[in-house]
Amino acid sequence: MNKKYKICTRIKFYKLNIMNAEVKDEVKKTIKKQNIQLVDGEFTVSEANDIVKNLINEKINFHKLQRLSLCEGFLKSNTEFPDSRIGQLQNDKKISNEFFRDQFGKNVTVTINGVLEITINE
């Protein structure tokens, strides 16, 4: 069963497909899987830049909150993982900005297909 939701933004409608969880048995191990079509469509360069930038910013904020939570009550907590992810994501954002900047002013569109694949291992 596929459910489709349209999420309204400033100009375009983004489709969000939520598919039923798929269950597989593998040697006494159950794997539950769900795909979420987070972004699917054709966009202007400006729209695509905004989408990618906002997704990356959300992940950066998530890791900043994770780091803050680790340090709460113990300032010498190991924050190596969130720190490294924040750095990687900031670098990805810079690369993304350069990629889109090169396309501004051209008569082109950008297709984005962003699927989240979520797997639960028991």
Phi-psi region of 114 (alpha: psi -120 to 50; beta: other; left: phi over 0): beta
Q: Which helix (H) or strand (E) holds 63?
A: helix 45-71
- Predicted pLDDT at 25: 47
**Count: domains in the chain:** 1
Q: What is the pLDDT of residues 42-71, one digit of tens each?
A: 999 999 999 999 999 999 999 899 888 887
Least confident segment among 18-22, 53-57, 117-121: 18-22
**Whether the Cβ atoms of residue 78 and residue 69 lie closer than 8 Å to each other:** no
Q: Across the chain, what does the average pLDDT equal?
A: 79
**Mean pLDDT confidence for 69-77:** 77
Local confidence band at 15 (pLDDT 50, 70, 90 cut-offs): very low
pLDDT band of 21, cuts 50, 70, 90? very low
SS3 48: helix
Check: CB of residue 37 under 8 Å from CB of residue 17.
Answer: yes
Return the H-helix or E-strand segment holding 97: helix 80-101
Whole-prediction pTM: 0.68
**pLDDT above 50 (res 18):** no
Q: Residue for token digits 């300032």?
A: 75
Expressed as residue numbers, the domain containing 26 is 2-121
